[in-house]
Structure 1
Amino acid sequence: MPRLTKVQLEAVQRADQMTPQELEQFIELETEPLPAPRSSWEPVDLAAILDGTAEPILPTVGHRTDGIGLFYPGRTHWVAAESESGKTWFALHTCRQEIERGNVVMYVDFEDDAAGVVGRLLVLGADPAEVAARFLYVRPERKPSDIDMLAFRAQLLHVRPALVVVDGVTEAMSVFNLDPLKLDDVPQFTQRLIRPMTEAGAAVVALDHVVKASDNRGRYAIGSAHKLNGLNGAMYVLEPVANQPIGIGVTGRTRVRISKDRPAQIRRHALPGRSGSLAWFADLVVESHDERHATVRLYPPVDRQDDDAAQAENGKERQLRVEVLAVLQKAGRPLNASEVKERVRGRAQDKVRVLAELEDEGLVNVSPGQRNAKLYSFPVTALFDG
């Protein structure tokens, strides 16, 4: 990453924050300067807006199964939910999508550790080589100095991540000695940590907890509604679907609702909520095959009149996938398609389709057999971290 110049360091040096030895260490480095930021007090060029050539900002980071995007580049987003409702799976699913597109992703973690976060990425099927090349993990443990923040900004401007996840907003604010319940502390936190990320062009996704009292929850996370009022991207609220928890060996479902959509390009792809509830944007489905492998999908909402039928059909599809994987795991050797069909109940065409889907998604290992037949076997992947 690029370092800081002597001029930049001297501009921010404070005696109580740097020892002479630390200053000397930075000054000795051959460095390139950070670009001078444009002042927000300069008049904005309105030409593109006035002549009609300005393009609307679109959500191009992450996507549902139908291709509809989740997050806006260069904007701030909030994801609020109860504990164990799928916030981290939601974020890491998007991380994997962006890594597979060849983009750099940064994960700033205030709650877990590298083994837990990267372990989940591998459980989702992320390629270890791609993770090593394009996934940056940061675990802050103390309040940053001005030097720390300048170095952090330099790194952001150097790698230009498409996505930055900030996991644990309440914990992050405590690191900055800020209180999420104080109105004035929220914009300070945003200015200090979030703004450098969006200035580097990243879609920033902050993971937060909702208030415990569901009657008072509404559209807000813990603390001030200023989090919502100052948002310039979108805010999602995750609500677990009854009797479908996320866990090892089960399929969990969480409803993803839209609380706010400042650029107004996401909400139009959602369905209205019942009885005035938040708009239904997607269903996050985490299918855990075992502790070593899980699949995450973000399905679009289903029209109310077709909801029950669609839920039943999706349930049959998931069950068939589980049975095929269980047969492969139990077999102890690779099986061809005919052997799989003999051991799994259901229509032959459905089993053939599921095998093809599992192959396309990299959820089964495939090797050549006799007479050009394919042999399917259960994969060995990284451990599942619940």
Structure 2
Amino acid sequence: MGGMTVPEAAQPLSHNPESANCQECWLRPPGSPCALHAKPRPLRAIPTPFAPADDNYARRVQLAIEGLARKLAERPVNSSRHTDLINWAKHAFQLALGTAGAVSLDWVAQQFKDASNANGYGHEEGEKKLDGDIEDARKYAENDGPRALNDRPRDNTGIDYGKTDFEQLATNTSPWSNDRTTDDAAPVVYTDFAALLAGGLPDPPKPTVLQREDGVAIFYDGKRNELYGDPEDGKTMLVLAAAAACGGKVLFLDYDNNGPEETALRLIMLGADRVVLADRNRFRHIEPADAEETLRVVADCAGWATLVIVDCIGELLPLFRASSDSADDYTRVMQMVSAPLERGGAAVILLDHQAKGQESRRYGAGGTMAKRRAVSGVSINLVRKQTFTPGRGGMAELWVNKDRPGGLRAHCPKGEGRRQFAGTFVLDPPDPETGVAAWRVTAARAELPAETIDPVVERHYEAVQRLSADNGGAVSARDVAIAANGLPPGTPPTDTQDKTARRAIARLEHEGRLTRVPGASPKRWEVAA
């Protein structure tokens, strides 16, 4: 152990000269610029195990880990026990990795398993879930590499471990005890308002990604943005349009199985430059297989990417054994995936599905309310007005659900409650010769064509017409589903085919093209006269 050395501390962040006009930089202590104007630290290669020269180091690490485990055991039921387990166990594993095997990783795992059982988390979630969480923390630690007790920079989880005095943990009973002294604590640095006021306040942040025709953009650089809506309403088409128009470096994290071929065809149709798409230093598309690969991509692209598309949250969270309904789970995953990319200056756009319940739809995406709370940029609700159909184009309205900086709301008309209309995304049919489709984001509400054609609805209407002509009577939803999908007579349709047929019939009835037969059971419809 005595022959090993501790790696040099990471280089501190330094100001970009342009940050003098940035409000967030002014509000931070001197030498601590905001994420947008900070020069990102170079990616650290995973170092080999190390240990300082003194022979008591391994024991001091054990004491620090025991202190963290004791603190976790004291966490109350209504606290963020899951997030604390992942973050503190990860750091404990990193400390153990730095002892070159003197502190066993299995011993660390048992410490945190006992602590989680003591605070009730293990008994509530079950042994299998608890073991999986601890194993995840271990993998994250092995991916990031070992740490020394005095190695306290902010890591890619977004947790500043400098707030915990590990040296005090190693030499005293507990840093959280009442008799802890603060004589040697680092000084508290408050915001220098004198310098802020003397220099003048800059303008609030303004969105810069995906401009409307009037020059006002929708999404913010260096912040977490959200785009949510119902399935197949055009969310991916919209963000790919933003990518096609982006002059920076784009990362597309594709968890929704869009596919590389389909993605390339869409981008070319939207006017993306083929040279840019072929340049790995300007455009990157990947379908991460698991959480580990996701974290490697984040580490590789943080500080490089200027626009990051995550499609979609519903497929990302399960890779981290996380639930969309858990605030702790969502916060933990975002700290590891989104936060490092934001700190590198990227506009991160998270795609998500609209909540299903009628009351919940007014609040945003499905799942935990932490999704909306964690948005540091803008949350946009996409509402389809005309189905996006190959060869025909489509149309969708954009509504602001949350705009933390306020730079977009300032250019939107008065809204409906908290919602404000932000623009209409219009995609024209592709040019027959070039295959490129013109698109735009207007500041005006959607103006639908006199006749909006939905091919799915039309296919089911034609099926009703055929059945009526052949049988001379009313038809059931099951009959329509069989005919519209070309199934042999008597073949039962799938649940999806049945639901699609019922939605199409409901729309045709609403449009007055079908009428329901009174008293019929099961329900039957006929072509309106």
State whether TM-score is above 0.5.
yes
Ranked by relative contact order (alpha carbons within 8 Å, sequence separation 6 or more), the top structure is 1
Contact in 2 for aligned 1:89/1:296 (Cα 8 Å) = no
Look up the match of 1:294: 437
Contact in 2 for aligned 1:76/1:233 (Cα 8 Å) = yes
SS at the partner of 1:92?
Answer: helix
Look up the match of 1:173: 317
| Offset at residue 44 of structure 1 (A) | 5.9
Among candidates 190, 199, 206, match of residue 343 of structure 2: 199
Return the index of the structure with the highest Cα Rg: 2
| Offset at residue 196 of structure 1 (A) | 0.9
Change (3 A) 1:113 1:46: farther
| Offset at residue 76 of structure 1 (A) | 0.4
Change (3 A) 1:4 1:152: farther
Separation (CA, whole Å) in 2 of partners of 1:9 and 1:286: 55
| Offset at residue 4 of structure 1 (A) | 3.8
Change (3 A) 1:73 1:43: farther
Q: How large is the Cα RMSD of the aligned pairs?
A: 3.5
- Letter of the 1:68 partner, please give it: V
Task: Describe the superposition over 1:320-359 as per-residue Cα deviations: whole angstroms up to 9, x where unpaired.
Answer: xxxxxxxxxxxxxxxxxxxxxxxxxxxxxxxxxxxxxxxx
The two structures have a TM-score, normalised by structure 2, of 0.49
- Structure 2: where are the runs of 5+ without partners? 1-41, 51-93, 98-104, 107-134, 137-141, 146-151, 164-187, 451-529
Q: How does 1:17-166 map to 2 (within 5 A)?
A: 37=154, 39=160, 43=189, 45-47=191-193, 49-51=196-198, 52-98=200-246, 101=247, 103-111=248-256, 112-133=258-279, 134-144=282-292, 149=295, 151-157=296-302, 159=304, 161-166=305-310
| Offset at residue 208 of structure 1 (A) | 0.3
| Offset at residue 142 of structure 1 (A) | 1.2
Change (3 A) 1:124 1:59: same
Separation (CA, whole Å) in 2 of partners of 1:83 and 1:44: 46
Change (3 A) 1:6 1:264: closer
Look up the match of 2:367: 223
Change (3 A) 1:6 1:260: closer
- Letter of the 1:235 partner, please give it: S
| Offset at residue 68 of structure 1 (A) | 0.5
Task: Describe the superposition over 1:240-298 as per-residue Cα deviations: whole angstroms up to 9, x where unpaired.
Answer: 12xx2110232321110000000011011112235x47211100112233794433211
Change (3 A) 1:55 1:267: closer
Separation (CA, whole Å) in 2 of partners of 1:232 and 1:123: 31
The two structures have a TM-score, normalised by structure 1, of 0.65
| Offset at residue 92 of structure 1 (A) | 0.7
Separation (CA, whole Å) in 1 of partners of 2:49 and 2:396: 47
Among candidates 235, 239, 245, match of residue 387 of structure 2: 245
Contact in 1 for aligned 2:413/2:421 (Cα 8 Å) = yes
Separation (CA, whole Å) in 2 of partners of 1:204 and 1:294: 25
Contact in 1 for aligned 2:401/2:418 (Cα 8 Å) = no
Change (3 A) 1:65 1:269: same
Separation (CA, whole Å) in 2 of partners of 1:54 and 1:168: 35
Bigger proportion of residues as strand = 1
Q: How does 1:261-300 map to 2 (within 5 A)?
A: 261-274=403-416, 276=417, 278-289=419-430, 292-300=435-443
Question: Identity of paired residues, percent?
Answer: 25
Separation (CA, whole Å) in 2 of partners of 1:138 and 1:44: 42
| Offset at residue 186 of structure 1 (A) | 1.5
| Offset at residue 200 of structure 1 (A) | 0.7
Task: Describe the superposition over 1:27-69 as per-residue Cα deviations: whole angstroms up to 9, x where unpaired.
Answer: 9xxxxxxx95495857464355443244422212221121101
Contact in 2 for aligned 1:163/1:203 (Cα 8 Å) = yes
Contact in 1 for aligned 2:303/2:341 (Cα 8 Å) = no
